[in-house]
Structures are given as structure tokens and as C-alpha cells.
Amino acid sequence: MSQHLSDQEIIRREKLKNLAEAGIEAYPAALYPVSHYSSEIKSAFSEETKEAFTDVCIAGRVMSINDKGKVFFIKVQDSKGIIQLYVKRDEICPEEDKTFWQLAIKGLDLGDFIGVKGFVFITKTGETSIHAKEITLLAKALKPLPVVKRDEDGNLHDAVTDPEFRYRQRYADLVINPDVKKTFTQRTTIINTIRDFLNERGALEVDTPVLQSIPGGAAARPFTTHHNALDVPFYLRIANELYLKRLIVGGFDWVYEFSRNFRNEGMDRTHNPEFTVLEWYTAYKDYFWMMEITEQLMEKLAIAVHGTTDVQVGDKVISFKAPYKRISILDAIKENTGMDVSSMDEDELREVARKLNIHADNTMGKGKLIDELFGETSESKFIQPTFIIDYPVEMSPLTKKHRSKQGLVERFELMINGKEIANAYTELNDPIDQRERFEEQAQLMERGDDEAMFIDQDFLRALEYGMPPTSGIGIGIDRLVMLLTNQPSIQDVLFFPQMRPEKG
């Protein structure tokens, strides 16, 4: 395939050729001894501490060059920030041969990686800088970065905002938009905080299969693949629930997994075909306990990221302080539509949906119709953290029937800022009841519901060995990160979101 090169790219390749002819390595393999980072230098250097900064070594990417002839001012960006270099020709190349200066210093381009050794000082304009005594070219950039503007304080102006560029070329986005890196470091803070929270309480982190012979644990359309050696179809997991419950059967009291899941469905601002979910299952607990510990976790996460339980999300301030409101899904629908659907059958629900201009076809059973009614009329109304509880049994084929309310199950979904963040149950551990629920799902599949659950015979066999009373939860990590980092789209919290193949 031929490669079309811009004028800039042609010039950079010529520079690369000239470096090679002069014996200057543009991509050296040697270890480079970094001793300091930009932010560390800028925060710690002063007249009192300058003796500790007489011999520093940093490495990073060239972000700006101010050519004063025999003196250069270069801004270098490392993984922690940006710092200025003061570079004097006669100190870098004191000998008569100025080849290195001409090719490797005057020939520097924005985006090149360099290593710098020198001492720290403060310029006449008050900027903490490194007086370079030695510079090493570490990697030549052959493609120019998009041009952005920074003021004297390093603040970014005219940031690149084109999502097509940013999501497809995340590697460049991270370089030129520093706030993007902050979002992903906060994502790691969130995941580490959850892991610490669970580990401190005795939970065990585990791994379960991504390739599954039966895609169980959720109502979703799976991705299908084929195992050549076995000559059988396999599915990318849509959930890890049934495997984690098998471990509860096997004698573990509390297990969790950060699960990479795949669902062959639509893409929008809150859905990506590949996404991360935290699921945990705890023996001898129920959904009332789960609501309380979920509140504790959410409070802890808000404080870990923001230092407070009040979090700015768009134009709203959301309080993660417990306790959270609780309302049944049927009462939520009634509150927002004025209609009591609690005793309606499938035909009546379908008629209500049509009156409200909500999609309702003959493949949809009672559970899915109620789900659509709630999603279209009520979900977006719950801005502050709210537990939507006590779902109809038809909506929840893996959930224990309610201990006191006929026709309902012990389930909750946590809604925040109008979106589902978590889904939890008192788990169904009656194998006979579970088999009947699976068979009902199979009937829905026969009617054309491509999100209905498969019958998992091995999981039923596991339940027949006996599973203790258990509560489980699934928390959408990507949506949670969106919420806690104030990002409007799931693509902004995924390093490499799915996109259409690039044309050409």
C-alpha cells in the first residue's frame, strides 16, 4: 500500500536520513537514566533546595522550540507535566564540529523525544527551568502533532476537540490534551479504591472465562465466534454472574471480578460493545445489606476522587452522601405517568406503551414491557442517587422472589444522574424455580426475543448441589467513571473505544 506523505513528513524523513549519514542514532536502544520529573522539579525547587537539583536528568517530548540562534528555549513534556530547557550551543557542542548542534538540536521537531542532563535554575522571568549540559535524541517523530496553543504559564488554548481524531488517535490526544490523562488516572484511582474497599472486607478477587459455551448472566445479544479444534460455537461473555455463583456453591463466601464484557448491541454516549463491569457475590447476605454497602462504597469513591461527597456533574451537584432514596419500579412509573401498571397483563402493558408512543412489539414479554416503560418515562428523572427496588418477577430471571410481596423479586438498580450505575439482587438459589425461569426465557427466545437468556444446564446442576443465601451486584465501571470525572460520553473514559473502521 502506498503511503501519502505531507510536506512536513517528507522534511522529517530527510532529517532522519541526514542524522543517519552523520552517525547520529535517532532511535537509540540504551537505557536512559531518568532521575526527576517536571512536576517534582517545579514544586520542590527553591533557593533553599537548589543544591539537590545541581544534577538532574529528565526525558520527554519536545512541545515547543524558541530558536535564538546560539541559544534555544525548549519546552519538554514528560509524564508529569511540562518544563522549560535553556540550551546554549557552546555548552552542548564546545568542539569545532557543530554537526550535532545543526542536525540534532537545530533539527529538532515538535514531538521528538529527548533526554536532558543539567541543573535547575530560575530565569529572569521567574520560570523554573533546566540549564541543559547534555542532550540525547531518544526518538525522532516522523508525523507532526496537531498544533495547539499554550500561554506562558503552560495553559492550553485552542484544544483539539474533534472526536473522530481524539478517539481514533488516542495516543496523540493524550499528548496534546493534558486533561485527558487526568481522566484516566482518576479511573485508576476509582478501580484501586474499589479493590481496596473489597479486599479490606475479606473479598477474594477471581477470574472467570471470557469465552463461554453459553452466554449467561444477563439479557443481551452476544458476539459469536467459533472454536476450530472443538468445532463448536463460543460466545464472548455478556456477564460473569453465573460463574461467580458457581464459586459461591464451591465454598467461597465473597468473590469479585472486574469483568470485561461484550454485547453485540448499539453504540451511543453510554454504551460501548466492549465494557467493564465489577460484579461481586457475598454468601449469607441479601439486597438490603447490599444497598447499605453500596452506599458506603459510593461515598468512599466520591471522596477518593474529589475529597468530598458532593460532585459536580454537568450543571448539577450530586450528593453521594448516604442514605439514598428507595422507591419501587412500579411506584416510579406511577409517579411519572400517573398510571398504575402493577396489576396489568402483557396486552394491557403493550397498550399503555403504545399510548405513550413507546416501542412495544409482540416479541416483548411483560418484563421487557415494564422495563421499556420505566426506561422511557422515569429513568432520566432520578438525578440524585436512588435505589429503584422490587421489580416484577418477569424482569428478573436470576432473582429470588420477594419474601413479602407477591409477584415481585428482591432486586434494586442504583440510578444516578438519570442512568443505571448498578444492578443487584437477593440471588435465586432454588434450582427448581431457576429452571422454570430459564424455561420461560427459552419461550421468549422462540418468540423472537434475541436478548432472552439461554438455559445453562451446568449452572442448574451447580445450584442442585446447594448455594447458600447470597446477594450479588454488578456495577458499570465505565458509567461510574463518567459520573465521577464529569465526562459526557463513554468514549471519553475508554482509552480506545470501538469505532467504524477507518476509510482507506
Separation of alpha carbons 49 and 54, rounded Å: 10
Q: How far is CA 494 from CA 29, 228, 313, 497, in A?
A: 31, 31, 18, 6
Separation of alpha carbons 42 and 114, rounded Å: 19
**Beta-bridge partner residues of 271:** 268
Cell 430459564 -> residue: 438
- Give the Cβ contact number of residue 476 at 10 Å: 23
- How does DSSP assign 371-391, residue by residue? HHHHHHHTGGG--S-EEEEEE
Determine whether the annotation assigns residue 420 to a binding site. yes
Q: What angle do CA 261, 266, 267 make, to 5 degrees?
A: 85
Q: What angle do CA 35, 153, 120 make, to 5 degrees?
A: 30
Residue 468: all three cell numbers together: 447458600
Residues shown for the chain: 504
Which residue intervals of 73-215 are DSSP H helices? 89-92, 99-100, 163-168, 170-176, 178-200
The answer to whether the CB of 261 falls within 8 A of the CB of 237 is yes
The answer to whether the CB of 257 falls within 8 A of the CB of 204 is no
Burial of 488 (0-12, 13-18, 19+ CB in 10 A): exposed
First to last CA, the chain: 10
- Give the Cβ contact number of residue 119 at 10 Å: 14
**Beta-bridge partner residues of 478:** none
230 three-class SS: coil
The answer to whether the CB of 190 falls within 8 A of the CB of 484 is yes
**CA 321 centroid distance within chain:** 23
Rg (CA), the chain: 29
Half-sphere exposure at residue 317, Cβ-oriented, CA atoms within 13 angstroms: 5
Residue 260: all three cell numbers together: 470485561
Determine whether the annotation assigns residue 464 to a binding site. no
The strand pair at 316-319 and 204-205 is best described as unpaired
The answer to whether the CB of 184 falls within 8 A of the CB of 190 is no
Does the bond joining 323 to the residue before it have cis omega, within 30 degrees of 0?
yes
- Which parts are annotated binding residues for Mg(2+)? 413, 420
- Which parts are annotated binding residues? 413, 420
